[in-house]
A and B are shown apart, each in its own frame.
Chain A
Amino acid sequence: MRIGVFVCQCGTNIAATVNTGEVAEAAMAMRNVAHAESIQYSCSEPGQKAIINAVHRHGLTRVVMAACSPRMHETTFRRTVNQAGMNPFMLEMVNIREHCSWIHSDMEEATLKAIDLVRKGVARVRDQAPLHPDTVPVTMGALVIGGGVAGIQAALDMADAGIPVTLVERESTIGGNMARLDKTFPTLDCSSCILTPRMVEAKQHENIRLMVNSEVEQVRGYIGNFEVDVRRKATCVNEEKCTGCMICEQKCPGKAPDEFNVDVGESKAISVPFPQAVPLVAKLRKEHCRLFIKGKCSVCQKVCPADAIDYEQEDEVLTEKFGAIIVATGYDTFDWKAAYPEYGGGHYPDVITSLQYERMLSASGPTGGHVKRPSDGEEPKNIVFISCVGSRDPSIGRPLCCSVGCMYTAKQAILTKEHIPDSRSYVFYMDIRASGKGYDEFTRRAQEEFGAVYLRGRVGKIYPRGGRLVVMGVDTLAGEQVEVEADLVVLATGLSGAGGADELARKLNISYDRYGFLSEGHPKLRPVETNTGGIYLAGACQAPRDIPDSVAQASAAAAKAAGLLSRGELETSPMVAEVDWMRCTGCFKCRDVCPYGAIEEEGLRDGRTVARVIPSLCQGCGVCNVACPPSVISLKGFTDNQLIAEVVELLR
């Protein structure tokens, strides 16, 4: 057995804190080590070449790479040793970067720790056996969760590539937040005009199956072969029969909050969210329906010409297999009321959010495109916009930038002038962040062409005066306090991950941050992947972003998913569990604990029934390994002997 140890300097990432030469020298003294050296950048081409040369020159049979996290470069170096003619699994990664140099400052101690870690790796690789990967077929089909613009784009891209797609949306229509917007920056394209054709296309596409009022309930399986339970919630409306004529909505006596219009205006207990909804189908909300509250009504059933109302309808759970999953759950706007008592905390009806204002501006909105103050229905003349409400504010624990507020506020200031020519808009801002194509020009137009008054500073208080609101703030450029009398105040609320995104993330086994945004695999190199293979991210579910970026990311995610599905079959990790059937007692504790259903019964010729691991299903989690009472299950690449050898070396 001839072991080679390569200690990577990673430029100064490792070498600044760990004396890599000393580590290599110490490694030379370890049993079975035939060669050790320090390399500046081992993942680079010359670095990999040096490794291959060393394998040949010294006849190495095993390699220990003391470098970065295996998440980063294990695959790279497996390929390297494979090129040198070795089995790729005869490699052991020792993480002396994330686990050592990056978290320590004392060079002497860090070097000693690195030597310990290397000794551990050498001990482990001694017991390593060559492993050979298996292959599994990939299920041809993708699941897209969330039917906003990102989800629609990803679904269409994949469907166009011939992939069967299921698009799941929890609301009764696709379109997401973009369907709520009036116009889009910086071109002032009508949002509906560019979105609704895409919505229709998604519905009509032969490769797309649309499931609205549906949520992902459970996810099993793994990359290439996910098995997903989707719950389609009862809406009391037969989707096939409903024609979207809205007679039920007109006749319904039960008032209900208008979710689509963000409570600008009121809706009914049975309603179609908006006239361009896709599918154009009504939905009954039991919590507001007189029949379900008081036990008496059923007006909608009587008036429905299509006989589509079914009060007995029940939830359905459908189970289907997919090769890839794209998450496109989007965002929610920040609920500002509790965090900003200085803006009235919801006590003033004329302080509204930008999304509510968007519904007022929209020609198809509840006010028919007329801007009206909620308090008295009058047309406002002085409108104050406040940026960064729930953004860039560490005092409420939200230091993040919403990335779209500056732009949509400029847009709303422009649209305000178009709607009410004798109006005046004031914008309190912190900085104008307009880095996209044509964006800065757009914010300048808001000021120069449309006369919006930009005041750089935050607002400290809003208080009532004679039926109007006084906005008290500071103009930090002029260095003075300012007060603006406003008829209407619009808050540019920040963004968070959509409600429930965290719960979904747990079901998918992907990570998320404190704002409910889902985490990408690597901030630079894996922006649409997650850390779970086969699951990709699209749009604002990952971070606040605008429409062009969401669409671009959706296409990127679709390309990634299509790339996976086009392969037909996948190599599985050979690091799976293995049962020693000679000693297995057939208790099947392993089957009880296996989260992947990878244990089956096998009858032997001697009449015994023992456990067998299905390699294509096993994910190598090691649970059965621990649960096995006679301890006859081992995990390849993680055998008990290897782990014990590591511990022994560490305790030496």
Chain B
Amino acid sequence: MSAYSYFPGCSLTSTAIEYDTSFRLVAEEFGIGLDMLEDWNCCGASPAPHHWGGNLGVFLPARNLHIAGAGHQAMVAPCAGCYTRHKYAQQQLVRNEEHRTKVENALHEPLRYQTRIMNIIELFNEEIDPEEMSRRARSRLENVRLGTYYGCVLTRPAEVLGFDDPKDPVSMEPLLAATGAEIPYFPFKTECCGSYMGLAKKEIVLRASRRIIEVALECGIDALVTACPLCHQNLDLRQGQINRAFGTKYELPVLYLSQALGLGLGMAPEELGIDAHAVGIGRVMRKMAEAEAQESENEARRQRPAGAAGRSPDKEAARQASPAGTAMARDGEST
């Protein structure tokens, strides 16, 4: 039996299937064992906590925790929504004996609710050594400027999740930086994407997500990296709607954390399901090709006897010339 129980939730089995694919690939690369949670049920998503007096939002995740607890110490939920729902339910179960009794009456056995719940960032940060990542990634993402986008429910409410800084989260950075990517300052990393308002009032999502894309391009970001299927949907799938609604011509790729790491590890975009995205990653691929050319040039130079080892000086200079946050390139709006 592997170390982690894996709760995919609805998104990773449908609209965000590429998140599932890439997550498993990266996990496999580092020998992180995942056991699909058997007979799992819905986490409750947005509706459950707001109906049945809110308690359904506790009971549904409770059953998942119970099943996971049978053979695992920890359960990983890569979807930010699923992660939050389970954490919230666990807190309620710890605090409220009545809730526990109700679930136990339904399950006819003592409830296992202490299973540790992890999100994908937590899992990767604990299981993957950045140095190891750096060794395997061989600077493939050199010069690619990745904007870390956390959205809301990965870190909030802080008193429930206790994960990273809710105002200024940084947990994605060590591993992404280990791929050679540049992580510029991105002020909108926790700004609202519009969330599920896409169903009720689409304009809200379009306006909110547009601003995130606009600021990302302003910061010279080549691709956004997220760990939330709903954020991804709003930023990637709706990017065309945004362009139509506002007459913009944005083309900003949005990657799942596992996809970005996968690219860094040399996996093909198709393998990682990136071809399923609405916005292509041409811009990232171009920079990766440049990095590769540079790398082989360096390799060739290393072959030569007279010590021209190490990084090329002009690349070093280019890196220093664009410190985080100050580069405000306008080439974001491609034609």
A residues apposed to B, CB below 8 Å: 341-342, 344-345, 347-349, 461-467
Contact = CB atoms under 8 A, between A and B. Distances in A.
Given A463-B218, A464-B215, A465-B218, A348 B325 contact: yes
Nearest to B168: A341
A464 B218 contact: yes
Contacts of B214: 465
Interface string B304-335: 00000000000000000000111010100000
Contacts of B168: 341, 345
B215 A341 contact: no
A467 B330 CA distance: 10
B185 interface: yes
Contacts of B330: 466
A348 to B, nearest CB: 7
A342 B218 contact: no
Contacts of A344: 185, 187, 325
Contacts of A342: 167, 187
B219 to A, nearest CB: 7
B328 A466 contact: yes
B328 A461 contact: no
Interface in B189-239: 191, 214-215, 218-219
A462 B218 CA distance: 13
Contacts of B191: 461
A348 B326 CA distance: 7
B167 A464 contact: no
Given A341-B168, A342-B167, A345-B168, A463 B326 contact: no
A461 B330 CA distance: 21
Given A344-B187, A463-B218, 13 more contacts: A341-B168, A344-B185, A347-B185, A347-B187, A347-B325, A347-B326, A348-B325, A461-B187, A461-B188, A463-B215, A465-B218, A466-B218, A467-B328
Interface string B25-49: 0000000000000000000000000
Contact of B328 (A341, A462, A464): A464
Nearest to A349: B326
A342 B190 CA distance: 10
A461 B186 CA distance: 12
Nearest to A483: B211
| 9 smallest beta-carbon distances between A and B, as pairs | A341-B168, A347-B325, A347-B185, A463-B187, A463-B215, A341-B167, A464-B218, A464-B328, A465-B218
Interface string B297-309: 0000000000000
Nearest to B188: A463
Contacts of A461: 187-188, 191
A344 B325 CA distance: 9
Nearest to B167: A341
A478 B188 CA distance: 25
By DSSP majority rule, is chain B's interface helix, strand, loop, or mixed? loop
A320 B214 CA distance: 65
Contacts of A341: 165, 167-168
Contacts of B324: 347
Interface string B160-192: 000001011000000000000000010110010
A336 to B, nearest CB: 13
Contacts of B219: 464
B329 to A, nearest CB: 11
A489 to B, nearest CB: 13
Contacts of A464: 187, 215, 218-219, 325, 328
A480 B165 CA distance: 28
Nearest to A470: B215
Interface of B: 165, 167-168, 185, 187-188, 191, 214-215, 218-219, 324-326, 328, 330
A541 to B, nearest CB: 31
Contacts of A347: 185, 187, 324-326
A467 B329 CA distance: 10
A575 to B, nearest CB: 51
Nearest to A339: B167
A617 B286 CA distance: 81
13 contacts: A341-B165, A342-B187, A347-B325, A348-B325, A461-B187, A463-B187, A464-B218, A464-B219, A464-B328, A465-B214, A466-B328, A466-B330, A467-B328
Contacts of B165: 341
Contacts of A349: 326
Contacts of B188: 461, 463
Residue from A342, A348, A462, A463 with most neighbouring chain B CB atoms (10 Å): A463
A341 B150 CA distance: 14
Contacts of B187: 342, 344, 347, 461-464
Nearest to A348: B325
A474 to B, nearest CB: 14
Contacts of A462: 187
A313 B288 CA distance: 58
A462 B215 CA distance: 11
A256 to B, nearest CB: 21
Residue from B167, B188, B214 with most neighbouring chain A CB atoms (10 Å): B167
B212 to A, nearest CB: 10
Nearest to B212: A463
B190 to A, nearest CB: 9
A495 to B, nearest CB: 22
A256 B123 CA distance: 44
A540 to B, nearest CB: 29
Nearest to B169: A341
A545 B214 CA distance: 43
Nearest to A343: B187
Contacts of A466: 218, 328, 330
A345 B219 CA distance: 15
Residue from A341, A342, A345, A461 with most neighbouring chain B CB atoms (10 Å): A341
Residue from A347, A349, A466 with most neighbouring chain B CB atoms (10 Å): A347
A209 to B, nearest CB: 48
A467 B165 CA distance: 28
A235 to B, nearest CB: 34
Nearest to B220: A464
A257 to B, nearest CB: 18
Nearest to B189: A341
Contacts of A463: 187-188, 215, 218
A556 to B, nearest CB: 42
A349 B324 CA distance: 12
A124 B2 CA distance: 72
A22 B62 CA distance: 59
Contacts of B218: 463-466
A624 to B, nearest CB: 51
A555 B59 CA distance: 68
A348 B187 CA distance: 10
B103 to A, nearest CB: 35
A580 to B, nearest CB: 61
A642 B305 CA distance: 92
Contacts of A345: 168
Residue from B165, B214, B219, B325 with most neighbouring chain A CB atoms (10 Å): B325
Nearest to B191: A461
A463 B188 CA distance: 8
A462 B188 CA distance: 9
A460 to B, nearest CB: 9
Contacts of A348: 325
Contacts of B215: 463-465
A342 B187 CA distance: 7
Contacts of A465: 214-215, 218
